Amino acid sequence: MNGTSPLAPTHFPDLPAIAGVTLRVARARYKNWDRCDLTYVELAEGTAVAGVTTRNLCCSTEVEMCREGIARGSARALIVNAGNSNAFTGYRGREAVELIMTAVSGHLGCAKEDVFVCSTGVIGVPLPKDKARDGLAAAFEASPCTWEEAANTILTTDTFAKGAMAQAVIGDRTVNIVGIAKGSGMIAPDMATMLAYVFTDAAVEPAILQAMLSSANRDTFNSITVDSDTSTSDTLLVFATAKAGNPIIRRMDDCGADALAAAIRSVCRDLAHQIVRDGEGASKFVAISVTGAKSDSSAKRIGLAIANSPLVKTAIAGEDANWGRVVMAVGKAGEPADRDRLAISFGDTVVARDGLPVDGYDETPVAAHLKGQDIRIHVDIGLGEGQATVWTCDLTHGYISINADYRS
Protein backbone atom coordinates (compact mmCIF):
# COMPACT_ATOMS: atom_id res chain seq x y z
CA MET A 1 0.00 0.00 0.00
CA ASN A 2 1.31 3.39 -0.95
CA GLY A 3 0.98 6.64 0.96
CA THR A 4 -2.56 7.88 1.51
CA SER A 5 -4.06 9.70 -1.46
CA PRO A 6 -3.75 13.48 -1.22
CA LEU A 7 -7.46 13.57 -2.06
CA ALA A 8 -8.50 11.40 0.90
CA PRO A 9 -11.07 12.71 3.41
CA THR A 10 -9.50 13.79 6.69
CA HIS A 11 -11.11 10.95 8.63
CA PHE A 12 -13.43 7.99 8.32
CA PRO A 13 -17.00 9.18 8.92
CA ASP A 14 -19.06 8.34 12.00
CA LEU A 15 -21.45 5.68 10.84
CA PRO A 16 -24.45 4.43 12.81
CA ALA A 17 -25.09 0.78 13.52
CA ILE A 18 -27.70 -0.80 11.28
CA ALA A 19 -30.10 -3.06 13.14
CA GLY A 20 -29.84 -6.56 11.74
CA VAL A 21 -26.26 -6.13 10.48
CA THR A 22 -23.32 -7.62 12.41
CA LEU A 23 -19.78 -7.20 11.15
CA ARG A 24 -16.81 -9.43 11.90
CA VAL A 25 -13.34 -9.64 10.37
CA ALA A 26 -10.53 -12.20 10.46
CA ARG A 27 -7.13 -13.07 9.06
CA ALA A 28 -7.38 -15.64 6.27
CA ARG A 29 -3.89 -14.64 5.10
CA TYR A 30 -4.81 -14.86 1.42
CA LYS A 31 -1.57 -13.03 0.84
CA ASN A 32 1.62 -12.97 2.80
CA TRP A 33 0.49 -10.16 5.08
CA ASP A 34 -0.54 -9.67 8.66
CA ARG A 35 -3.87 -7.89 8.36
CA CYS A 36 -7.51 -8.85 8.39
CA ASP A 37 -8.57 -9.84 4.86
CA LEU A 38 -11.83 -11.71 5.38
CA THR A 39 -15.02 -9.83 6.20
CA TYR A 40 -18.08 -11.67 7.45
CA VAL A 41 -21.37 -9.80 7.64
CA GLU A 42 -24.31 -11.50 9.28
CA LEU A 43 -27.71 -10.26 8.20
CA ALA A 44 -31.01 -10.68 10.03
CA GLU A 45 -33.62 -13.09 8.77
CA GLY A 46 -35.88 -11.39 6.26
CA THR A 47 -33.12 -9.25 4.74
CA ALA A 48 -33.83 -8.21 1.15
CA VAL A 49 -31.00 -7.87 -1.36
CA ALA A 50 -30.50 -6.12 -4.69
CA GLY A 51 -27.34 -5.70 -6.73
CA VAL A 52 -25.49 -4.71 -9.85
CA THR A 53 -22.48 -6.63 -11.15
CA THR A 54 -19.74 -6.13 -13.72
CA ARG A 55 -20.57 -6.53 -17.39
CA ASN A 56 -17.11 -7.92 -18.01
CA LEU A 57 -17.70 -11.19 -19.88
CA CYS A 58 -14.79 -12.85 -18.12
CA CYS A 59 -16.32 -12.34 -14.69
CA SER A 60 -15.49 -14.40 -11.63
CA THR A 61 -17.48 -17.29 -10.18
CA GLU A 62 -18.35 -15.00 -7.29
CA VAL A 63 -20.07 -12.59 -9.66
CA GLU A 64 -22.03 -15.38 -11.33
CA MET A 65 -23.25 -16.68 -7.99
CA CYS A 66 -24.07 -13.20 -6.66
CA ARG A 67 -26.27 -12.73 -9.73
CA GLU A 68 -28.18 -15.89 -8.83
CA GLY A 69 -28.58 -14.66 -5.27
CA ILE A 70 -29.75 -11.23 -6.39
CA ALA A 71 -32.41 -12.89 -8.55
CA ARG A 72 -33.73 -14.70 -5.45
CA GLY A 73 -33.84 -11.45 -3.47
CA SER A 74 -32.98 -12.69 0.02
CA ALA A 75 -29.71 -12.67 1.98
CA ARG A 76 -28.37 -13.84 5.34
CA ALA A 77 -24.64 -13.28 4.99
CA LEU A 78 -21.92 -11.55 3.00
CA ILE A 79 -18.31 -12.75 2.84
CA VAL A 80 -15.63 -10.56 1.26
CA ASN A 81 -12.17 -11.99 0.55
CA ALA A 82 -9.38 -9.45 -0.07
CA GLY A 83 -6.08 -10.22 -1.79
CA ASN A 84 -7.31 -12.81 -4.29
CA SER A 85 -10.10 -12.17 -6.78
CA ASN A 86 -10.47 -15.88 -7.62
CA ALA A 87 -11.25 -14.77 -11.18
CA PHE A 88 -10.20 -16.96 -14.12
CA THR A 89 -9.67 -19.94 -11.87
CA GLY A 90 -12.17 -22.36 -13.42
CA TYR A 91 -13.63 -25.23 -11.40
CA ARG A 92 -11.05 -24.84 -8.64
CA GLY A 93 -12.21 -21.32 -7.97
CA ARG A 94 -15.80 -22.44 -7.96
CA GLU A 95 -15.07 -25.11 -5.37
CA ALA A 96 -13.71 -22.47 -3.00
CA VAL A 97 -16.84 -20.35 -3.31
CA GLU A 98 -19.07 -23.38 -2.79
CA LEU A 99 -17.07 -24.30 0.31
CA ILE A 100 -17.57 -20.83 1.80
CA MET A 101 -21.29 -20.81 1.03
CA THR A 102 -21.72 -24.24 2.59
CA ALA A 103 -19.74 -23.36 5.71
CA VAL A 104 -21.66 -20.15 6.34
CA SER A 105 -25.06 -21.68 5.66
CA GLY A 106 -24.19 -24.47 8.11
CA HIS A 107 -23.09 -21.94 10.72
CA LEU A 108 -26.22 -19.80 10.37
CA GLY A 109 -28.68 -22.57 9.55
CA CYS A 110 -29.77 -20.76 6.41
CA ALA A 111 -30.10 -21.59 2.73
CA LYS A 112 -26.80 -21.78 0.94
CA GLU A 113 -28.16 -19.42 -1.71
CA ASP A 114 -28.60 -16.70 0.94
CA VAL A 115 -24.82 -16.44 1.35
CA PHE A 116 -23.12 -13.83 -0.87
CA VAL A 117 -19.39 -14.18 -1.56
CA CYS A 118 -17.13 -11.56 -3.17
CA SER A 119 -13.39 -11.71 -3.74
CA THR A 120 -10.95 -9.02 -4.87
CA GLY A 121 -7.27 -9.06 -5.68
CA VAL A 122 -5.00 -10.88 -8.08
CA ILE A 123 -6.62 -12.71 -11.02
CA GLY A 124 -5.86 -16.31 -11.94
CA VAL A 125 -4.93 -17.86 -8.62
CA PRO A 126 -7.61 -20.15 -7.17
CA LEU A 127 -8.74 -18.96 -3.75
CA PRO A 128 -7.01 -21.39 -1.35
CA LYS A 129 -9.73 -23.46 0.29
CA ASP A 130 -7.81 -24.17 3.46
CA LYS A 131 -7.17 -20.49 4.10
CA ALA A 132 -10.81 -19.67 3.43
CA ARG A 133 -11.94 -22.41 5.83
CA ASP A 134 -9.59 -21.31 8.60
CA GLY A 135 -10.38 -17.65 8.06
CA LEU A 136 -14.09 -18.30 8.26
CA ALA A 137 -13.72 -20.32 11.45
CA ALA A 138 -11.84 -17.40 12.99
CA ALA A 139 -14.46 -14.93 11.78
CA PHE A 140 -17.30 -16.96 13.31
CA GLU A 141 -15.51 -16.72 16.67
CA ALA A 142 -14.54 -13.05 16.38
CA SER A 143 -16.23 -10.24 18.28
CA PRO A 144 -18.34 -7.85 16.19
CA CYS A 145 -16.31 -4.97 14.78
CA THR A 146 -16.86 -1.44 13.55
CA TRP A 147 -17.70 -0.17 10.09
CA GLU A 148 -14.20 1.24 9.83
CA GLU A 149 -12.61 -2.15 10.58
CA ALA A 150 -14.78 -3.81 7.96
CA ALA A 151 -14.12 -1.02 5.46
CA ASN A 152 -10.39 -1.52 5.99
CA THR A 153 -10.60 -5.28 5.66
CA ILE A 154 -12.09 -5.25 2.15
CA LEU A 155 -9.30 -3.03 0.75
CA THR A 156 -6.50 -4.08 -1.62
CA THR A 157 -4.54 -1.31 -3.38
CA ASP A 158 -6.74 1.40 -1.82
CA THR A 159 -5.00 3.99 0.31
CA PHE A 160 -7.92 4.81 2.60
CA ALA A 161 -11.09 3.15 3.91
CA LYS A 162 -14.33 4.35 2.33
CA GLY A 163 -17.60 4.81 4.19
CA ALA A 164 -20.72 6.94 3.84
CA MET A 165 -24.13 7.32 5.40
CA ALA A 166 -27.53 8.93 4.94
CA GLN A 167 -30.91 8.88 6.59
CA ALA A 168 -34.42 8.89 5.21
CA VAL A 169 -37.78 9.40 6.86
CA ILE A 170 -40.40 6.83 5.95
CA GLY A 171 -43.73 7.58 7.62
CA ASP A 172 -42.86 8.11 11.29
CA ARG A 173 -39.62 6.18 11.14
CA THR A 174 -36.12 7.36 10.37
CA VAL A 175 -34.12 4.70 8.55
CA ASN A 176 -30.34 4.58 8.27
CA ILE A 177 -28.31 3.81 5.19
CA VAL A 178 -24.61 2.99 5.50
CA GLY A 179 -22.20 2.01 2.75
CA ILE A 180 -18.62 0.85 2.47
CA ALA A 181 -16.61 0.36 -0.69
CA LYS A 182 -13.19 -0.49 -2.07
CA GLY A 183 -11.54 0.27 -5.37
CA SER A 184 -8.88 2.47 -6.85
CA GLY A 185 -7.77 0.90 -10.13
CA MET A 186 -9.50 -1.07 -12.88
CA ILE A 187 -12.38 1.35 -12.42
CA ALA A 188 -14.65 2.19 -15.31
CA PRO A 189 -18.32 2.45 -16.00
CA ASP A 190 -20.60 -0.25 -17.35
CA MET A 191 -20.04 -2.15 -14.20
CA ALA A 192 -20.98 -1.67 -10.61
CA THR A 193 -17.62 -0.50 -9.32
CA MET A 194 -15.00 -2.52 -7.56
CA LEU A 195 -16.86 -3.65 -4.46
CA ALA A 196 -19.48 -1.60 -2.67
CA TYR A 197 -21.98 -2.63 -0.04
CA VAL A 198 -24.92 -0.59 1.19
CA PHE A 199 -26.88 -1.59 4.27
CA THR A 200 -30.18 -0.21 5.53
CA ASP A 201 -32.61 -1.10 8.24
CA ALA A 202 -35.51 -0.04 6.01
CA ALA A 203 -38.19 -2.54 5.04
CA VAL A 204 -38.44 -2.65 1.28
CA GLU A 205 -39.27 -5.33 -1.24
CA PRO A 206 -36.35 -6.66 -3.29
CA ALA A 207 -37.77 -5.55 -6.66
CA ILE A 208 -38.17 -1.97 -5.44
CA LEU A 209 -34.77 -2.06 -3.78
CA GLN A 210 -33.33 -3.19 -7.12
CA ALA A 211 -35.03 -0.34 -8.98
CA MET A 212 -33.65 2.17 -6.48
CA LEU A 213 -30.16 0.72 -6.71
CA SER A 214 -30.06 0.48 -10.50
CA SER A 215 -31.14 4.08 -10.81
CA ALA A 216 -28.62 5.27 -8.22
CA ASN A 217 -25.86 3.22 -9.81
CA ARG A 218 -26.34 4.84 -13.21
CA ASP A 219 -25.50 8.32 -11.96
CA THR A 220 -22.88 7.36 -9.40
CA PHE A 221 -20.70 4.26 -9.78
CA ASN A 222 -21.43 4.05 -13.50
CA SER A 223 -20.41 7.67 -13.94
CA ILE A 224 -16.89 7.34 -12.61
CA THR A 225 -13.74 6.20 -14.31
CA VAL A 226 -10.16 5.97 -13.17
CA ASP A 227 -8.52 4.14 -16.05
CA SER A 228 -11.28 2.86 -18.36
CA ASP A 229 -10.58 -0.72 -17.34
CA THR A 230 -13.47 -2.91 -16.23
CA SER A 231 -12.83 -5.41 -13.49
CA THR A 232 -13.90 -9.03 -13.64
CA SER A 233 -15.24 -8.92 -10.08
CA ASP A 234 -17.10 -5.66 -9.61
CA THR A 235 -20.14 -5.95 -7.41
CA LEU A 236 -22.49 -3.48 -5.73
CA LEU A 237 -24.94 -4.98 -3.27
CA VAL A 238 -27.57 -3.38 -1.07
CA PHE A 239 -29.05 -5.21 1.89
CA ALA A 240 -32.24 -4.10 3.67
CA THR A 241 -32.84 -5.75 7.03
CA ALA A 242 -36.39 -4.46 7.61
CA LYS A 243 -35.58 -3.74 11.27
CA ALA A 244 -36.56 -0.06 11.27
CA GLY A 245 -40.25 -0.83 11.65
CA ASN A 246 -41.40 1.24 8.71
CA PRO A 247 -44.34 0.00 6.65
CA ILE A 248 -42.71 -2.09 3.95
CA ILE A 249 -42.17 -0.27 0.68
CA ARG A 250 -43.75 -2.29 -2.12
CA ARG A 251 -44.08 0.32 -4.87
CA MET A 252 -42.10 3.35 -6.02
CA ASP A 253 -45.01 5.64 -5.09
CA ASP A 254 -45.33 4.31 -1.54
CA CYS A 255 -44.77 6.80 1.24
CA GLY A 256 -41.07 7.37 1.80
CA ALA A 257 -39.89 5.52 -1.29
CA ASP A 258 -38.52 8.70 -2.85
CA ALA A 259 -36.68 9.57 0.34
CA LEU A 260 -35.12 6.11 0.60
CA ALA A 261 -34.12 6.16 -3.07
CA ALA A 262 -32.51 9.57 -2.61
CA ALA A 263 -30.63 8.41 0.47
CA ILE A 264 -29.32 5.31 -1.31
CA ARG A 265 -28.24 7.50 -4.23
CA SER A 266 -26.49 9.88 -1.85
CA VAL A 267 -24.52 7.06 -0.21
CA CYS A 268 -23.60 5.63 -3.63
CA ARG A 269 -22.43 9.02 -4.90
CA ASP A 270 -20.35 9.62 -1.80
CA LEU A 271 -18.67 6.22 -2.12
CA ALA A 272 -18.16 6.60 -5.87
CA HIS A 273 -16.45 9.95 -5.36
CA GLN A 274 -14.24 8.42 -2.66
CA ILE A 275 -13.18 5.71 -5.10
CA VAL A 276 -12.14 8.36 -7.63
CA ARG A 277 -10.35 10.27 -4.86
CA ASP A 278 -8.40 7.08 -4.24
CA GLY A 279 -7.76 6.57 -7.96
CA GLU A 280 -4.32 5.07 -8.44
CA GLY A 281 -1.84 7.92 -8.47
CA ALA A 282 -4.57 10.57 -8.39
CA SER A 283 -3.57 14.10 -7.45
CA LYS A 284 -6.75 15.83 -8.65
CA PHE A 285 -10.47 15.06 -8.53
CA VAL A 286 -12.12 16.04 -11.80
CA ALA A 287 -15.83 16.66 -12.37
CA ILE A 288 -16.77 16.85 -16.05
CA SER A 289 -20.22 18.17 -16.81
CA VAL A 290 -21.64 18.06 -20.31
CA THR A 291 -24.72 20.03 -21.30
CA GLY A 292 -26.44 20.76 -24.57
CA ALA A 293 -26.01 17.25 -25.96
CA LYS A 294 -28.67 15.52 -28.04
CA SER A 295 -29.62 13.30 -25.07
CA ASP A 296 -28.52 12.48 -21.55
CA SER A 297 -26.89 9.26 -22.70
CA SER A 298 -25.06 11.12 -25.45
CA ALA A 299 -23.85 13.64 -22.86
CA LYS A 300 -22.60 10.81 -20.67
CA ARG A 301 -20.70 9.16 -23.51
CA ILE A 302 -19.05 12.48 -24.36
CA GLY A 303 -18.22 13.03 -20.69
CA LEU A 304 -16.64 9.59 -20.44
CA ALA A 305 -14.64 10.10 -23.65
CA ILE A 306 -13.15 13.19 -22.01
CA ALA A 307 -12.69 11.46 -18.65
CA ASN A 308 -10.96 8.46 -20.25
CA SER A 309 -8.64 10.41 -22.53
CA PRO A 310 -5.03 9.91 -21.39
CA LEU A 311 -4.14 13.23 -23.01
CA VAL A 312 -6.81 15.15 -21.07
CA LYS A 313 -5.85 13.38 -17.84
CA THR A 314 -2.15 14.08 -18.22
CA ALA A 315 -2.87 17.73 -19.08
CA ILE A 316 -4.79 18.07 -15.81
CA ALA A 317 -1.91 16.43 -13.95
CA GLY A 318 0.30 19.11 -15.52
CA GLU A 319 -2.16 21.87 -14.48
CA ASP A 320 -2.44 22.80 -18.16
CA ALA A 321 -5.77 24.23 -19.39
CA ASN A 322 -5.34 22.31 -22.62
CA TRP A 323 -8.88 22.62 -23.92
CA GLY A 324 -7.69 21.47 -27.37
CA ARG A 325 -7.45 17.98 -25.94
CA VAL A 326 -11.00 18.35 -24.62
CA VAL A 327 -12.14 19.23 -28.16
CA MET A 328 -10.32 16.16 -29.45
CA ALA A 329 -12.06 13.94 -26.88
CA VAL A 330 -15.49 15.39 -27.72
CA GLY A 331 -14.84 14.64 -31.37
CA LYS A 332 -13.71 11.08 -30.81
CA ALA A 333 -16.76 10.19 -28.71
CA GLY A 334 -18.70 9.58 -31.91
CA GLU A 335 -21.74 11.44 -30.56
CA PRO A 336 -23.49 14.31 -32.33
CA ALA A 337 -21.32 17.41 -31.95
CA ASP A 338 -20.66 20.50 -34.02
CA ARG A 339 -17.16 21.85 -33.69
CA ASP A 340 -18.37 25.41 -34.30
CA ARG A 341 -20.96 25.36 -31.47
CA LEU A 342 -18.78 23.97 -28.69
CA ALA A 343 -18.12 25.95 -25.52
CA ILE A 344 -15.59 24.84 -22.91
CA SER A 345 -14.98 26.13 -19.38
CA PHE A 346 -12.36 25.37 -16.77
CA GLY A 347 -13.69 26.29 -13.35
CA ASP A 348 -15.84 29.37 -13.91
CA THR A 349 -13.95 30.66 -16.96
CA VAL A 350 -15.16 30.10 -20.50
CA VAL A 351 -12.02 29.49 -22.56
CA ALA A 352 -13.59 28.54 -25.89
CA ARG A 353 -16.93 29.36 -27.47
CA ASP A 354 -18.48 28.94 -30.93
CA GLY A 355 -15.56 26.87 -32.15
CA LEU A 356 -12.94 29.46 -31.30
CA PRO A 357 -10.76 30.32 -28.33
CA VAL A 358 -12.28 33.21 -26.38
CA ASP A 359 -10.13 36.20 -27.30
CA GLY A 360 -8.09 37.42 -24.37
CA TYR A 361 -9.82 35.42 -21.65
CA ASP A 362 -8.28 35.94 -18.24
CA GLU A 363 -5.84 33.08 -17.67
CA THR A 364 -5.29 33.96 -14.00
CA PRO A 365 -8.43 32.30 -12.57
CA VAL A 366 -7.97 29.35 -14.93
CA ALA A 367 -4.42 28.75 -13.73
CA ALA A 368 -5.52 29.17 -10.12
CA HIS A 369 -8.36 26.70 -10.61
CA LEU A 370 -6.06 24.09 -12.14
CA LYS A 371 -3.63 24.38 -9.24
CA GLY A 372 -6.40 23.22 -6.89
CA GLN A 373 -7.36 19.63 -6.11
CA ASP A 374 -10.95 19.85 -7.33
CA ILE A 375 -11.15 20.53 -11.04
CA ARG A 376 -14.34 21.34 -12.93
CA ILE A 377 -14.59 21.10 -16.71
CA HIS A 378 -17.81 22.09 -18.41
CA VAL A 379 -18.53 21.39 -22.05
CA ASP A 380 -21.62 22.73 -23.76
CA ILE A 381 -22.35 20.95 -27.02
CA GLY A 382 -24.89 23.53 -28.16
CA LEU A 383 -27.24 21.06 -29.82
CA GLY A 384 -29.92 19.98 -27.34
CA GLU A 385 -30.99 19.44 -23.74
CA GLY A 386 -29.01 16.33 -22.82
CA GLN A 387 -26.75 16.54 -19.82
CA ALA A 388 -24.58 14.38 -17.57
CA THR A 389 -21.78 14.68 -15.06
CA VAL A 390 -18.97 12.18 -14.74
CA TRP A 391 -16.04 12.06 -12.38
CA THR A 392 -12.46 11.01 -12.82
CA CYS A 393 -8.96 11.74 -11.60
CA ASP A 394 -5.79 12.83 -13.35
CA LEU A 395 -3.18 10.45 -14.80
CA THR A 396 0.18 10.77 -13.08
CA HIS A 397 3.50 9.07 -12.61
CA GLY A 398 1.91 7.47 -9.55
CA TYR A 399 -0.41 5.39 -11.75
CA ILE A 400 2.53 4.06 -13.72
CA SER A 401 4.53 3.29 -10.60
CA ILE A 402 1.67 1.41 -8.99
CA ASN A 403 0.71 -0.62 -12.05
CA ALA A 404 4.08 -1.45 -13.52
CA ASP A 405 4.83 -3.38 -10.34
CA TYR A 406 1.62 -4.75 -8.80
CA ARG A 407 1.20 -8.49 -8.95
CA SER A 408 0.74 -11.30 -6.43
**60 versus 241: smaller Cβ distance to its own copies:** 60
Choose, from 193, 220, 225, 396, the residue flagged as catalytic: 193
Binding test (CB under 8 A) with its own copies, winner from 8, 49, 59, 240: 59
**259 versus 317: smaller Cβ distance to its own copies:** 317
Q: Which of these ranges, 27-35, 168-176, 256-264, 305-313, lies near its own copies under the rule CB under 8 A? A: 305-313
Sheet of 356-357: strand order equals 224-225, 386-393, 285-293, 374-380, 343-346, 349-353, 356-357
Helix (H) or strand (E) holding 105: helix 90-108
Partnered with residue 293 across adjacent β-strands are 386
403 labelled binding-site residue: yes
Site string for its own copies, 28-47 (x = CB under 8 A): --------------------
The SS3 call for residue 124 is coil
For position 68 contacting its own copies by CB under 8 A, the verdict is no
C-beta of 300: minimal distance to its own copies in Å?
Answer: 17
Residue 242 vs residues 6, 48, 106, 163: alpha-carbon distances, Å:
38, 8, 23, 21
C-beta of 276: minimal distance to its own copies in Å?
Answer: 15
**45 versus 320: smaller Cβ distance to its own copies:** 320
**241 versus 309: smaller Cβ distance to its own copies:** 309
For position 395 contacting its own copies by CB under 8 A, the verdict is yes
Burial (CB < 10 A; 0-12, 13-18, 19+), residue 408, is exposed
For position 88 contacting its own copies by CB under 8 A, the verdict is yes
C-beta of 347: minimal distance to its own copies in Å?
Answer: 18
C-beta of 319: minimal distance to its own copies in Å?
Answer: 8
Q: Please say if 193 is a catalytic residue.
A: yes
The amino acid at residue 290 is V
Report the half-sphere exposure of 323 (CA within 13 A, side-chain side): 24
CB 119, CB 60: distance < 8 Å: yes
Measured between alpha carbons, how far is 280 from 120 in angstroms, rounded to an integer?
Answer: 16
For position 279 contacting its own copies by CB under 8 A, the verdict is no
Measured between alpha carbons, how far is 162 from 145 in angstroms, rounded to an integer?
Answer: 16
Measured between alpha carbons, how far is 37 from 177 in angstroms, rounded to an integer?
Answer: 24
Binding test (CB under 8 A) with its own copies, winner from 357, 363, 365, 372: 357
Q: Which of these ranges, 208-216, 242-250, 383-391, 394-402, lies near its own copies under the rule CB under 8 A? A: 394-402
Question: Among candidates 106, 165, 127, 121, which has minimal Cα distance to 28?
Answer: 127
For position 106 contacting its own copies by CB under 8 A, the verdict is no
Question: β-strand 285-293 against 374-380: which pairing, if any?
Answer: parallel
For position 318 contacting its own copies by CB under 8 A, the verdict is yes
C-beta of 358: minimal distance to its own copies in Å?
Answer: 10
Name 93's Cβ contacts closer than 8 Å, sequence gap at least 6: 60, 61, 86, 87, 126, 127
Binding test (CB under 8 A) with its own copies, winner from 87, 118, 151, 244: 87
Q: List residues forming the annotated binding site.
A: 156, 182, 193, 280, 403, 408
Catalytic residues: 193
User: Residues interacting with its own copies, by CB under 8 A?
Assistant: 55-59, 85, 87-90, 92, 122-125, 185-186, 188, 190, 227-232, 308-311, 314-315, 317-318, 320, 322-325, 327-337, 339-340, 342, 352, 354-357, 395-397, 399-401, 403-405, 407
